Amino acid sequence: MQNLLHNLNPEQLAAVTLPPQNALILAGAGSGKTRVLTTRIAWLIQTGQVSPAGVLAVTFTNKAAKEMLARLSAMLPINTRGMWVGTFHGLCNRLLRTHYRDAALPQTFQILDSQDQLSVIKRLLKANNVDDEKYPAKNLMYFINNNKDQGLRAKDVDAYDATERKMVELYDLYDEQCQREGVVDFAELLLRTYELLSRNQPLREHYQLRFRHILVDEFQDTNDLQYKWLKLMSGHGSAAGGALFAVGDDDQSIYAFRGANVGNMSAFEREFQVKNLIKLEQNYRSHGHILDAANMLISNNSRRLGKNLRTDAGHGEQVRVYEASSDLQEAQWIIEESKSLINEGTSRSEIAVLYRSNAQSRVIEHALFSAGIPYHVYGGLRYFQRAEVKHAIAYLQLMDNPHNDSAFLRVVNFPARGIGARTIEQLQGAAEQYGISLYAAVPYMVGKAGTSLGGFVKMVEGMRFETQQMALPELVRIVLDGSGLLQHYQGEKEGADRVENLEQMVSAATQFVSEEGYGQGAPAHLGPQAQAQAGNAIVSADGVEIIDADAPLATVMSPLSAFLSHASLEAGDNQAQAGQEALQLMTVHSAKGLEFDNVFITGLEEGLFPHESSSKEDGGVEEERRLMYVAITRARQRLYMCFSQTRMLHGQTRYNMKSRFFDELPEESLKWLSPKVQSHWFANKKSAWDEAPLAGSDNAIARQIAQKSSGGSGWRIGESVAHAKFGEGVIVNLEGSGSNCRAQINFGNVGMKVLDLSVAKLDRL
């Protein structure tokens, strides 16, 4: 057995070998938090303090969970398949599958990804004749998820006005509809598990006694409900319960918009009376200049728990900064630099291109494609979200649970079988009248509608019967064929790709059953009870029978159910896959926790990064700065930053100022590849305005700076101007020179605009 501890520094060692008490490891990027967490699990098991079944580890993505399991099996001679390592969603899914009855769910409940959820909501609004201008589906979805993330059901929400009361009412109807259809959304997975365990004491105690060690990575991004869930699992405030070991970095909290609450870190310290607070300050990832840039940038944030990072790796190369004249040129520069890296022997998968917003990837992709450089984009439409794949999944869902109305509606007339909107309306009417699913309402239909719908049901039933004893991959093949999907796309002019995607599903199913340990021949429909009887039932202290949600999932879910859960959970996971020989393109959000030798941060412009939406929210710019901190700290050896004077976004050309973040980076760590243009922000304390004696009565120097920064355009900062469309305003900043001069102008009511002075028509006032 190898020595797990010899590669750790003293603080890491202390963290890994803490006694079984609650602990918080607060540490900056690249300081080994994830490594410490994984090593601690291995150490606890190796020293016999806990069995693999007594560990519960929560990661942020499925990919991180897989990686953790792979590392554990490299460190320990055990089979990690049964271990509880996963995301909140994955772990809750497993619990609900086992205790579906206690959770009042059908055995074959299905998971809605966000796309599905939105369509359920649209359907609900329509069925209830709700004005979707007044109550847009997206807003309602946000409202519902937001409340669920806080642990609030409709009855718990305080409504202050008529609009809110209506939203609450719709929230309730939505929950009812989901229950009827046997579907749960992502937030519901957590809330349902939370409610189940709060209500059911024997079950709760069973798990509290079982999990002696609960470990959570990326703790700074937990939301309120997740924190409550952890409290419950760890038996906070009760005699039972294990130790909670949380690792996180307040400077990397970047999911506030999804309800994450960085306050959970201090709440945890307080409520769990954490005696063991360990800080790790040695960074093992990045070279000095990169780290200096990260440290200085984040020091501009006010509310921090406070820590710094140092490295022994040496300064390394400076951060290369490039100003492009257009987004096309920016992409070209990325390609030139990447090519020279690749020529020097860098692996393509060690080059990451990060952007703030998904829309930026199109231009970069196009340039990479033209240059013949393989690349991989994350966060785009993933396999399981493509239309043809969703159709196939809907058929599979009907095999598993025909009462899933969303699945029914998606394919009842796809491929077309002459079932029109009127027929569906009648069917919906009948379903509503009897309070049953659409599928169950079909026998109530008469006439032509009855015949065509009956034909559909017959087809579905036929396939169900035919596949009774089949293994999953075979079942998938039958469904692709029997549903008419394959034929449909084969007949389409541009359908070749889609046919290929559909056929890939058979391989996906084959891979899935072997990875999950089902065995290739296991019948896809095999019910869980049959397996549970094979020795998995246990009896709690007070005689209540509990089926333990033990892994592999094979013990609690049929291969088909498990495959469908996998498809939904995978679709919601935006994380990158490593190891491909391709450039890695992704948003900064999805780069969290990852590392690459070379990183490009693109589009560093005011309005884009920091994003314009952030200026409207309290603390918005601080969140953007944390995002920038995450971006910088992904790089091991080389970091590149770029911005562009103009950019086509959402069909409009924007004229941009470079990001204020440049003013927050140490000058000596940057290498400007294009002539650096001065900019002076009134708002920024660290700008040249502070250094110039602006406050004095003689502000000649200030004027000089202002004139210099006008780049010979003839305009001055502070000057009042008029614009035909935007009205009157004041120039607050000037940048660039000659024909590239841009002005940032505050137009009062209309807000801040950046205009290209060679094009914009301005009058002096």
Report the binding-site residues: 27-34
From 1-9, 15-23, 317-325, 370-378, span contacting ligand ATP (CB under 6 A): 1-9
Instruction: Please confirm, yes or no, whether 217 is among the known catalytic residues.
Output: yes
At 620, list the tokens: 């918005």
Q: Distance from CA of residue 666 to its chain's centroid?
A: 31
Q: Does residue number 672 form part of the binding site for ligand ATP (CB under 6 A)?
A: no
Residue pair 528/107 in contact by the 8 Å Cβ criterion: yes
Q: In whole angstroms, how close is the CB of 31 to Mg ion at the nearest point?
A: 9
How far, CA to CA in Å, does 355 sit from each of 352, 360, 599, 628? 10, 7, 11, 10
- Decide: is 147 part of the binding site for Mg ion (CB under 5 A): no
**Residue 593, interface with Mg ion (CB under 5 A)?**
yes
59 binds ligand ATP (CB under 6 A): no
Minimum Å gap between C-beta 593 and Mg ion is 4
Q: Exposed, middle or buried: residue 346 (CB in 10 Å: 0-12, 13-18, 19+)?
A: middle
Burial class (CB in 10 A: 0-12, 13-18, 19+), 657: buried
Q: For residue 252, state whether it binds Mg ion (rule: CB under 5 A).
A: no
Residue type, 60: F
Catalytic residue among 217, 323, 605, 664: 217
Q: Does 31 bind ligand ATP (CB under 6 A)?
A: yes
Task: For the CB of residue 285, give the shortest distance to ligand ATP in the complex, in Å.
Answer: 4
Distances in Å between the alpha carbon of 427 and those of 4, 397, 612?
Answer: 63, 20, 46
Q: How many residues are recorded in the chain?
A: 765
8-state DSSP, 557? S
Binding mask 190-209 for ligand ATP (x = CB under 6 A): --------------------
33 is catalytic: yes
Q: How far is the CB of 264 from ligand ATP (least distance, A)?
A: 17
Which does residue 29 touch among Mg ion, ligand ATP, none (CB within 5 to 8 A, set by kind)? ligand ATP
In whole angstroms, the minimum distance from the beta carbon of 11 to ligand ATP comes to: 9
3-state secondary structure 223-289: EHHHHHHHHHHCCCCCCCCCEEEEEECHHHCCCHHHCECCHHHHHHHHHCCCCEEEEECECCCCCHH
Each residue 239-258 as x (binds ligand ATP by CB under 6 A) or -, in order, gives ----------x--x------
Closer Cβ to Mg ion, 196 or 247, answer by number: 247
* Residue whose token pair is 């957590």: 190
CB atoms inside a 10 Å sphere around CB 366: 12
> Quick one: which of 5, 9, 271, 611 contacts ligand ATP (CB under 6 A)?
9
- Residue from 31, 34, 311, 437 in contact with Mg ion (CB under 5 A): 34
When binding is defined by CB under 6 A, the residue of 35, 148, 192, 204 that contacts ligand ATP is: 35
Q: Which of 11, 12, 33, 35 is catalytic?
A: 33
Task: Give the one entry of ligand ATP, Mg ion, none that residue 567 binds, where binding means its C-beta sits below a cut-off of 5 to 8 angstroms depending on kind.
Answer: none
Q: Which of 34, 98, 117, 385 is catalytic?
A: 34
Coil, helix or strand at residue 655? strand
Contact window for Mg ion (CB under 5 A) among 29-37, 50-58, 468-476, 649-657:
29-37
Residue 427 backbone phi and psi in degrees, to 5: -65, -40
Contact flag: residue 220 with Mg ion (CB under 5 A): no
- Helix, strand, coil tally for the chain in percent (to 5): 50, 15, 35
The single residue among 33, 403, 488, 525 that binds ligand ATP, judged by CB under 6 A, is 33
CA nearest to 25, candidates 218, 223, 308, 252: 218
In Å, what is the CA distance from 684 to each residue of 71, 150, 295, 616?
A: 45, 36, 18, 17
- When the beta carbons of 7 and 678 are compared against ligand ATP, the nearer one is 7
Looking at the Cβ atoms of 593 and 607, the one nearer to Mg ion is: 593
Look up 218 and say whether it is catalytic: yes
Q: Output phi, psi for 244, to 5 deg.
A: -100, 125
Please pick, from the candidates 4, 11, 12, 351, the single residue that binds ligand ATP as defined by CB under 6 A.
12
| Least distance (Å) between residue 637 CB and ligand ATP | 12
Instruction: Report the partner that residue 32 touches, choosing among Mg ion, ligand ATP, none (CB closer than 5 to 8 A by kind).
Output: ligand ATP
**Lookup: tokens for 281:** 């300050």
- Minimum distance, C-beta of residue 39 to Mg ion, in the bound complex (Å): 13
Of 18, 22, 23, 32, the one binding ligand ATP by CB under 6 A: 32
Residue 314 DSSP SS3: coil
The DSSP-derived string for 673-689 is SSPPPP---SS-TTSHH
Residue 505's nearest CA partner among 478, 469, 467 is 478
Residue whose CB is nearest to Mg ion in the complex, by number: 34
Q: Which residue from 284, 444, 672, 681 is in contact with ligand ATP, where contact means CB under 6 A?
A: 284
d(CA 742, CA 758): 8
Contact region for ligand ATP (CB under 6 A) — 29-37, 129-137, 198-206, 337-345?
29-37
Least distance CB 515 / Mg ion (angstroms): 24
Taking CB within 5 to 8 Å according to partner kind, which of Mg ion, ligand ATP, none is near residue 12?
ligand ATP
34 classed as catalytic: yes
Please tell me the distance from the alpha carbon of residue 721 to that of residue 715, in angstroms, as a whole number.
Answer: 10
The angle subtended at Cα 52 by Cα 50 and Cα 53, nearest 5°, is 95
CB of 247 to Mg ion, least distance (A): 8
User: Under the rule (CB under 5 A), what is the footprint of Mg ion?
Assistant: 33-34, 593
User: Under the rule (CB under 6 A), what is the footprint of ligand ATP?
Assistant: 7-9, 12, 27, 29-35, 249, 252, 284-285, 593, 595, 633
Task: Supply the residues annotated as catalytic.
Answer: 33-34, 217-218, 252, 634
